[in-house]
Amino acid sequence: MSESMSGLSVASPTERFVLQADAMTLAAAAQALGFDSDVVTSEARDNGAFALLWLGPDERLILAWQDQTPQIAPRVASALADQPHSLVEVTHRQVSRRLQGQSISELLNCGCPLDLEPTQFPVGRCSRTLFNKAEIVLWRRGSNDFHVEIWRSYADYFERWLIEAAQDLPVSTL
């Protein structure tokens, strides 16, 4: 369903991990994945191979893009071998959706309580939030470009809700 809709598509990460650790350990993990330093509060970084999203002071979501999938666990595990941490694969728990186009912020605000105005939620910002009753991770990749991580069991609900909400907007976004 979603692949045929204009504005909503299946995003490409193929493996996801949630990493929990202290600040020094998180910084070591970021470096192991090719980042200069760890992400700052409520931001995401993307180096083309991996994306690193801030979910909390001691929690990061790591996404692998296409051909980098088998590299996350070994890289992080070897870099953090002697440091206390929790690295949990959540690949099968959630799916990714990409929303692009005019009025996407307004459409998302039909179900999301965050202020998605660019001054309040700029490019690079990410947050764990709600979309109606479903927990999502929302990442603004561009001015009219959002990446959404959602639990697999809520994906259909999310997509159907967006389709319904789009009908009420002056400019159809989906």
Query: Would you state the pLDDT for residue 1?
Result: 36
The H or E element that residue 15 is part of is: strand 13-20
Tell me the pLDDT tens digit for each residue of 57-86.
999 999 998 776 667 888 888 899 999 999
Q: Is residue 142 part of a domain?
A: yes
Sheet holding 8-10: strands in order across?
A: 8-10, 94-100, 145-151, 134-142, 126-131
Tell me the mean pLDDT in the region 29-56: 93
Kindly report the CATH number assigned to the domain that includes residue 150. 3.30.1360.120
Q: Pick the residue with more confidence: 71 or 145?
A: 145
User: Do the domain assignments include residue 107?
Assistant: yes
Structure token digits, residue 168: 């009420």
Read off the tokens for 115. Answer: 């202020």
**Contacts within 8 Å (CB) and 24+ apart, 90-95:** 90/16, 90/17, 90/18, 91/14, 91/15, 91/16, 91/17, 92/152, 93/16, 93/151, 93/152, 94/16, 94/149, 94/150, 94/151, 94/152, 95/10, 95/149, 95/150, 95/151, 95/152, 95/155
Q: pLDDT tens digits, residue range 87-105? A: 999 999 999 999 998 889 9
Among 89, 114, 143, where does a domain finish? 89
**113 close to 129: Cβ distance less than 8 angstroms:** yes
Q: State the DSSP string of 83-134.
A: S--EEEE-TTTEEEEEEESTTHHHHHTTT--S--STTTS-TTBEEEEEETTE
Predicted pLDDT of residue 2: 38
Residue 171 maps to a domain: no
Rounded CA separation 88/84 (Å): 13
Confidence category of residue 170, pLDDT binned at 50, 70, 90? low
As for how many domains the chain has, the answer is 2
Q: Higher pLDDT residue, 122 or 72?
A: 122
The model scores a pTM over 0.85: yes
Choice among 14-18, 27-31, 170-174 with the minimum mean pLDDT:
170-174
Give the pLDDT of residue 68: 62
pLDDT at 112: 96
Give domain status of residue 43, yes or no.
yes
Can you say whether residue 61 is alpha, beta or left, with left for phi > 0 and alpha for psi between -120 and 50 degrees? beta
What is the reported pLDDT for 132?
94
37 secondary structure, DSSP code: S
pLDDT over 60 (residue 52): yes
Q: What is the mean pLDDT of residues 111-126?
A: 97
Check whether residue 104 and residue 81 sit in a common domain.
no
